[in-house]
Amino acid sequence: MTQPAVDLTIVGSIGIDTIETPAEKREEILGGSVSYACAAASFFTHTGMVGVVGTDFPQAFLDTWKDMNIDLEGLQTVEGKTFRWSGVYEENMDNRTTLSTELNVFETFSPELPEAYRDAPYLFLGNIHPALQLHVLEQVRNPKFILIDTMDLWINIDKEDLTKVIGKCTMLTLNESEAELFTGERTLNKAAKKLLELGPEYVLIKKGGNGSMLFNHEEVFLLHAYPLDHFKDPTGAGDTFAGGLMGALAASGKTDREAIRQAMVYGSIAASFGVEEFSLDRLAKLDRDEIEIRVAEFKEMCRI
């Protein structure tokens, strides 16, 4: 059986995480930016994963992805141990501290796209070293929409490569504090204006439970986060948001502003489900109808 070509390629990290929140500690659970992003995208479109795991990677985790119909042709398995991360959340869940990072097989990771992924019209460069993000761009053929994510580490240690790769993408996403770190600006409006000067058409600033803001040269779009009664683990929420956004955008086949607004709503709702449980636990048992019901409820909450 031949797999259909993927509509969306996502590149990023795969980790085995140990996470402690004020309420609970979970050890050795499935994590990583590409895992969250592909899981969210898989509700909307055929998605290919590019990442690396070690030979210790549990079959159960692979099965979780397969059950979500994520295409794993771009997944490399390398002799050694999978990347591991552990962190602890503070009482209010707003801040977290990294306790340990073991790069393992991720240290020498070089993303290689299978032939079937190179023509995918949508590409999401998850948060990895900007030099690796540039390496991915050398392999793709004329994608029509590229989203790039990053983090404070790369802003601090390799702003040059990061600036270069951002200039080749359609949309940059980062969180509030990263936008301020990158630009030195105190308001998000001003930070976004500076980031747009690097070349992307759009800058999407994530504000966690306070929603997100999309900027281009003409307009601003403001999006709330769906308000939850309780949530268990915010790890991966930004990746889930971005993955859901790209999945929904790919499903629409469009790249215009209206399509992006709608795709952001889907990404936001996917993230609201994701944080209800640790790892992919909630997303793995989620169905499309539940998403649609919450999207409708959310739109009513935001209507003015």
User: Alpha-carbon distance 198 to 123, whole Å?
Assistant: 19
Based on the shown chain and the rule CB under 8 A, indicate whether residue 256 belongs to the binding site for its own copies. Answer: no
Residues 159-188 binding its own copies (CB under 8 A) are 186-188
**Minimal distance, residue 35 CB to its own copies, in Å:** 26
**Contact stretch for its own copies (CB under 8 A) within 28-36, 159-167, 217-225, 269-277:** 217-225
Cβ distance to its own copies smaller for residue 108 or 189: 189
User: Alpha-carbon distance 51 to 197, whole Å?
Assistant: 30
Applying CB under 8 A, which of residues 96, 190, 194, 254 lies at the interface with its own copies?
Answer: 190
Q: Which residues of 190-215 are buried (b: 16+ CB within 10 A; e: fewer)?
A: ebbeebbebebbbbbbbbbbebbbbb
Applying CB under 8 A, which of residues 99, 157, 220, 296 lies at the interface with its own copies?
Answer: 220
Cβ distance to its own copies smaller for residue 157 or 302: 302
Cβ distance to its own copies smaller for residue 119 or 201: 201
Residue 228 pairs in a beta bridge with none
Helices (H), the chain: 33-41, 59-67, 130-137, 152-157, 159-166, 176-183, 188-196, 237-252, 257-274, 281-284, 288-302
User: Alpha-carbon distance 293 to 96, whole Å?
Assistant: 31
Residue 10 pairs in a beta bridge with 49, 124
Based on the shown chain and the rule CB under 8 A, indicate whether residue 216 belongs to the binding site for its own copies. Answer: no
**Minimal distance, residue 45 CB to its own copies, in Å:** 20
User: Alpha-carbon distance 98 to 96, whole Å?
Assistant: 7
User: Alpha-carbon distance 75 to 79, whole Å?
Assistant: 13
**Minimal distance, residue 209 CB to its own copies, in Å:** 9
Q: Determine how β-strand 220-223 pairs with β-strand 212-215.
A: antiparallel
**Minimal distance, residue 62 CB to its own copies, in Å:** 34
**Contact stretch for its own copies (CB under 8 A) within 78-86, 136-144, 195-203, 257-265:** 257-265
At 150 the three-state DSSP class reads coil
Contact 104, 81 (CB under 8 A): yes
Based on the shown chain and the rule CB under 8 A, indicate whether residue 1 belongs to the binding site for its own copies. Answer: no
**Minimal distance, residue 247 CB to its own copies, in Å:** 18
**Minimal distance, residue 106 CB to its own copies, in Å:** 33
| Sequence letter at residue 26 | R
* Residues sharing a CB contact under 8 Å with residue 80, sequence separation 6 or more, in sequence order: 54, 55, 56, 104, 105
Residues 44-103 binding its own copies (CB under 8 A) are 92-93
Based on the shown chain and the rule CB under 8 A, indicate whether residue 261 belongs to the binding site for its own copies. Answer: yes
Applying CB under 8 A, which of residues 99, 153, 222, 293 lies at the interface with its own copies?
Answer: 222
Based on the shown chain and the rule CB under 8 A, indicate whether residue 257 belongs to the binding site for its own copies. Answer: no
Cβ distance to its own copies smaller for residue 123 or 263: 263
Q: Which residues bind its own copies (CB under 8 A)?
A: 92-93, 186-190, 207, 210-211, 213, 219-224, 227-231, 261-262, 265, 299-304
